[in-house]
Amino acid sequence: MKEKKVLFIGLVWPEPTSSAAGFRMMQLIDTFLNGSYQITFASAAAKSPYSAPLQSLGVHEQAIVLNSDSFDKFIIQLQPDIVVFDRFMVEEQYGWRVAQQCPNALRVLDTEDLHFLRQARQASVKNKGDFSFQELFTDTAKREIASILRSDLSLIISESEMKILIEEFRISPDILYYLPFLEHEISSTEINQWKPFEERKNLLFIGNFIHEPNWHTVQYLKTQIWPQLRKMLPKVELHIYGAYATQKVLQLNNSKENFLIKGRAESARLTMENYRVLVAPIQFGAGVKGKFIDAMQTGTPSVTTTVGAEAMKGNLDWNGFIEDDPETFCRKTVELYENEDLWKTAQEHGIRIINERYEKRKYQADFMTNLSLLKVQIDRHRQQNFISQILLHHTMQSTKYMSLWIEEKNK
């Protein structure tokens, strides 16, 4: 029997300890490993000391080059059954080459989050205006939607984003697939090992500082939330964790104000389990926030905003509070920090959210079955999404000749 092959093309090499995107990528790789696929991960980016040791998992690593026919030779030799693009920019760069050299390969786009949605919300916050859907129709949206339409299937991590794509942009549900974070079930054994209320102290925020919503949240905490909150909790410290903290982040450290920049956490979950409450007054963003998954997996209640909790809890209760008003946010944080019964109830809500909405056994088998069926019916699927072929035809012409021009220029 022919061994099934999947090629992941990464914008970067996955760093599961640095970002939710890296953690998500590792979950996808794990899903294909469980499906007995031979996996190759390729990227044009440089590795970092925090890149996941993929080879130890049995994943073949391949360095590739932008705007080079060396990729064509590589993929012709590999002949993957499925190619997964890590974000729309990667599909733009390599999708036409995959379609040209391996036309029968299933092309899957992992969106991570909708970049155009995040950018539109960021612009709205910057301009101090109320966000409206009219702000979504940007050049980034044109690029990202085109990438979704060119792909055979796009993985969407948020139900809210599924709704936007279907209702606002009239994307066919046939080319979209809802696949949230894929988590292990929280067992009673794990719960019994969590540190109790009295052994935890202080507040924390965590987030990769390369990701603009995280940096903005830290600034918001420093200027709007913490001045109020530390008056209400004078003996409590707020610890800020995150990978790639630059000097502008580090200079916010102020021990007199109990506002402490801690930098990278080697393990988000091992770090988080020592704190009583996660505070994340996120003002803009998209997708689903990995920090809250980590919090629920460690029994750490949280206080966030509507945008922060978007699409995460469904009809269930949040594992803490969702508040947009700064004063109410602070008051609820204090209640959660000081009231053990309230804290335990919030913890129980988090357990239920993980086990009912993110437990991986609810999704992995169906996802792999869907891919297998799609692979068998690929010609019919592409005929039904003829706009994909139109876009791909024109993209292959324009991108191809731009890439060839750059390739010649670099010689």
Does the pLDDT of residue 9 top 80, yes or no? yes
Mean pLDDT of 138-160: 96
Buried/exposed code over 41-71 (b: 16+ C-beta within 10 A; e: otherwise)? bbbbeeeeebbbebeeeebeebebeebbeeb
Give kind and range of the element (H or E) at residue 338. helix 326-338
316-327 per-position pLDDT tens digit: 999 999 999 999
Mean pLDDT of 146-151: 95
Residue 411 tokens read as 């010689």
246-259 per-position pLDDT tens digit: 999 999 999 999 99
One-letter identity of residue 274: N
pLDDT confidence band for 402 (50 / 70 / 90): low
Q: How far apart are CA 318 and CA 141, in angstroms?
A: 31
Domains and CATH numbers, the chain: 5-183+360-410 (3.40.50.2000), 188-358 (3.40.50.2000)
- Mean pLDDT, rounded, of the chain: 95
Give this prediction's pTM. Answer: 0.94
Q: How far apart are CA 315 and CA 101, in angstroms?
A: 45
| Residues with Cβ within 8 Å of residue 86, at least 6 apart in sequence | 8, 9, 10, 11, 12, 25, 110, 112
Q: How far apart are CA 238 and CA 411, in angstroms?
A: 53
DSSP letters of 245-284? --HHHHTT-BGGGTEEEEE--S-HHHHHTT-SEEEE---S
- Please report, in angstroms and rounded to a whole number, the separation of the first and last CA atoms in the chain: 42
